[in-house]
């Protein structure tokens, strides 16, 4: 006999926050979050100091999956050029899903404006880590200016995910060739 283990109140709140904010933005109310999680407001406040802390924890909880869904394995034997292109191929693939609303970390930064907000700090760190990946790969690949190339790549990533997220553009056949051109200009191998 198997018994399904019901997720904890904390886990249900994290899931509700991730789902509702990805679909509708960070302005979602506490009532809606608690209702979706099946948790009382009192319980929420026993688990999290504030809605801001819940949002930050929810973003942090999703960070590993975000990274795993984009970045190649650490020592996969591919060239830096191929590793960078892999990220954009993954983005193209994710963006083709009907429920794709763009990069959740970029959306939080845009919506919140306040860089000291706990959720904004988490989002900023995750995006900085992605840019760090681009910079490290650019250095390994012999880019003439790895810092500039990393900034260009994050700009393409964010712009592409935002445009796909609002349904303004399809990324397939557009983003990867654009990135390949940037890599060619920077002499990345």
55: three-class secondary structure by DSSP: helix
| CATH fold of the domain at 59-185 | Tetracycline Repressor; domain 2 (1.10.357)
CB atoms within 10 A of CB 85: 21
In the chain, where are the structural domains located?
59-185
* pLDDT tens profile 56-65: 999 999 999 9
* Residue 113 per-residue DSSP state: -
- Asked if pLDDT for residue 4 goes beyond 80, the answer is no
Please state, in angstroms and as integers, the Cα–Cα distance from residue 128 to each residue in 19, 31, 37, following that order: 23, 32, 31
* pLDDT tens profile 44-84: 999 999 999 999 999 999 999 999 999 999 989 999 999 99
Question: What pLDDT shows up at residue 5?
Answer: 82
- Cα–Cα distance between 163 and 136 in angstroms, integer? 26
- Cα–Cα distance between 124 and 119 in angstroms, integer? 9
* pLDDT tens profile 156-185: 999 999 999 999 999 999 999 999 999 999
- Cα–Cα distance between 182 and 132 in angstroms, integer? 17
């Amino acid at each position: 006999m198997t018994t399904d283990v019901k997720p904890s109140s904390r886990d249900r709140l994290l899931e509700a926050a991730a789902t509702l904010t990805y679909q509708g933005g960070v302005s979602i109310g506490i009532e809606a979050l608690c209702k979706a999680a099946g948790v009382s407001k009192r319980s929420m406040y026993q688990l999290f100091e504030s809605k801001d802390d819940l949002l930050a924890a929810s973003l942090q909880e999703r960070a590993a999956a975000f990274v795993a869904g984009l970045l190649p394995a650490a020592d996969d034997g591919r060239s830096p050029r191929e590793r960078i292109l892999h990220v954009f191929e993954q983005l193209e693939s994710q963006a083709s899903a009907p429920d794709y609303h763009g990069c959740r970390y970029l959306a939080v930064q845009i919506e919140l404006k306040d860089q000291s907000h706990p959720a904004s700090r988490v989002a900023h760190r995750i995006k900085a880590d992605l840019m760090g990946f681009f910079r490290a790969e650019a250095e390994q690949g012999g880019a003439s200016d790895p810092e500039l190339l990393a900034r260009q790549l994050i700009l393409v990533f964010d712009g592409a995910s935002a445009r796909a997220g609002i349904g303004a553009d399809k990324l397939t056949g557009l983003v990867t060739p654009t990135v390949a051109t940037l890599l060619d200009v920077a002499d990345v191998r």
